Amino acid sequence: MQNTISGFSKLTKIEKVNWILKIYFNNDETSRNLITQYWNTDEKLQKLHDEFIENTITNFYLPLGVAPNFLINDKLYTIPMAIEESSVVAAASKAAKFWFKRGGFRAEVISTTKIGQVHFTYPGDKTDLKNYFESVKSKLISDSSAITKNMERRGGGILDIELRDKTEALENYYQLHATFETLDAMGANFINSCLEQFAQTFKDEAIANNIKGIDIIMSILSNYVPECLVKAEVRCHIKDLKDKDIPNPKAFAEKFKQAVAVAEVEPHRAVTHNKGIMNGIDAVVLATGNDFRAVEAGVHAYASKNGIYSSLTHCTIENDEFCFWLEIPLALGTVGGLTSLHPLVKFALQMLSKPSAKDLMKIVAVAGLAQNFAALKSLTTTGIQQGHMKMHLMNILNQFEANATEKAELIEHFKTNTVTHSAVVEAIEKLRS
Ligand code: MEV
């Protein structure tokens, strides 16, 4: 096949760039400059980033923004957010300010249990397997002591291992379903190492005990962590919702509640509703060096826990009190992995006063709730486009390479005119003619 290459990973970075430029860019110098322009001049820093992954050719920037004025359990935070979508940080900041004046956010960690599984097949007698598991269970744990001793010293470790019979779902399929407490670590490496040790012991001891036919399929943590839960909430008397955009707080509260109810029963809306929540969550998860794909997968699975994809937030109005909350599973770490490597992640964590994993769970959940509040507030009052297009104005101006004077003039102009792509283009052309 054309363009295949073997041994690519063994090439130097320059050789990799050269190969790409030759194959895909006809050795174009502008493309070379683009790639090299993003290299950091500090070689040590660049090397650190190069080594996060394989085959690095350059850096891919995302803005790191901050949303100040987040009052969470009476403590004030400025929340770091790494995200490309123009309106997200502005929306978070607005929601933070709104709730700051109304007592702030409350957040609590409900549970912190993480899960991993050894998946295997066994065609033999179920009782034999059950008896074998009971006899080997303590050895599964003791054989892992080299892996678990540090975690145990800090108060975490393996919580339990169960044998789960899944043969109704899949012929001969069973699991060792293990639960873990990993404290401030996200725990992926710890859990996976324990699981691989369980699998090894389980196999070896089966041979020694004359249990034939156990075939290990795989050992891996689960990113579905419904027992690693956090809840974030805001509440106030309906009349206190009054604001310059909310002249009639009772009508606003009712409509807001309806908007949440729609997302609770209608999956098409729920997906977009939850996407808005993830705008806030992913941005903080990314800025704090956590695995946003794991968080996304787990959160969306949780949104489907009742058999229909549904809203992650809920709203009630009882005795004239407006209450809006979010409950999500979040497996996060504030030690290990990228958290101790990426300089900006360290900076972000320091800005959050070096949170524990539990603290970070609360902060991230609050960012998600704030984002959803801001989105629903806009959607049920002015509509989303007004704010979005205002933020998008800068993108359009940059696209047309507007200089500082042009930008200032056009931003002023669009304070009182509706932003649309064509209106901005027209205004730029008029200004330049
Ligand atoms: C856009 O990124 C997110 C929203 O669509 C979320 C929502 O509709 O709730 C505004």
pLDDT digits (tens, 9 = 90+) for 267-289: 999 999 999 999 999 999 999 99
Helices (H), 110-236: 126-142, 145-153, 188-208
Q: What percent of the chain has pLDDT over 70?
A: 100
Residue with tokens 């012929």: 171
Per residue in 312-345, pLDDT (tens digit) is 999 999 999 999 999 999 999 999 989 999 999 9
Contact 282, 296 (CB under 8 A): yes
Across the strands, what pairs with 70?
77
Q: What average pLDDT does the segment 369-383 reach?
A: 95
3-class secondary structure, 91: helix
Please determine, for residue 55, whether its predicted confidence score (pLDDT) is greater than 90: yes
3-class secondary structure, 148: helix
CATH 3.30.70.420 fits 114-222, yes or no: yes
Are both 67-106+230-327+354-382 and 114-222 of the same fold?
A: no
Predicted local confidence at residue 385, as pLDDT: 74
**Cα(385) to centroid(ligand 1), Å:** 10
Establish whether 291 is a catalytic residue: yes
Looking at 231, 255, 275, 413, which residue is catalytic?
A: 275
User: Which carries the bigger pLDDT value, residue 388 or residue 199?
Assistant: 199
Encoded amino acid at 309, one letter: Y
Looking at 233, 291, 342, 392, which residue is catalytic?
A: 291
Establish whether 85 is a catalytic residue: yes
**Cα(313) to centroid(ligand 1), Å:** 14
Predicted local confidence at residue 133, as pLDDT: 98
**Cα(65) to centroid(ligand 1), Å:** 19
Site to probe by mutation for ligand 1, drawn from 315, 326, 379 as the one with most ligand atoms within 8 Å of Cβ, is: 379
Any idea how long the chain is?
433
CB atoms closer than 10 angstroms to residue 21? 17
Per residue in 230-265, pLDDT (tens digit) is 999 999 999 999 999 999 999 999 999 999 999 999
DSSP 49-77: HHTTSSS--S-----EEEEEEEEETTEEE
Instruction: Name, in order, each residue with C-beta under 8 angstroms of 262's C-beta and a sequence gap of 6 or more.
Output: 269
What architecture (CATH level 2) is domain 67-106+230-327+354-382?
A: Alpha-Beta Complex (3.90)
Contact 279, 83 (CB under 8 A): yes
Would you call 170 exposed, middle or buried from its count of C-beta atoms within 10 A (0-12, 13-18, 19+)? exposed
DSSP 235-282: EEEGGGG--SS-S-HHHHHHHHHHHHHHHHH-HHHHHHHHHHHHHHHH
CB atoms closer than 10 angstroms to residue 288? 29
Looking at 139, 388, 390, 407, which residue is catalytic?
A: 388
**Cα(302) to centroid(ligand 1), Å:** 19
Contact 58, 36 (CB under 8 A): yes
Please determine, for residue 90, whether its predicted confidence score (pLDDT) is greater than 90: yes
Per residue in 293-308, pLDDT (tens digit) is 999 999 999 999 999 9
Extents of the domains making up the chain:
8-50, 67-106+230-327+354-382, 114-222, 387-432
Contact 48, 340 (CB under 8 A): no
Per residue in 396-431, pLDDT (tens digit) is 999 999 999 999 999 999 988 888 889 999 999 999
Establish whether 171 is a catalytic residue: no
pTM of structure:
0.92
Q: Report the b/e string of 145-161 with b at 16+ CB within 10 A.
A: eebbeebeeeebbbeeb
Per residue in 61-85, pLDDT (tens digit) is 999 999 999 999 999 999 999 999 9
Encoded amino acid at 196, one letter: E
Q: Which atom of ligand 1 is the closest one to the Cα of 279?
A: 2
Predicted local confidence at residue 1, as pLDDT: 55
Please determine, for residue 135, whether its predicted confidence score (pLDDT) is greater than 90: yes
Question: Residue 386 — pLDDT band, cuts 50, 70, 90?
Answer: confident
Question: Residue 124 — pLDDT band, cuts 50, 70, 90?
Answer: very high
Q: Which atom of ligand 1 is the closest one to the Cα of 384?
A: 10
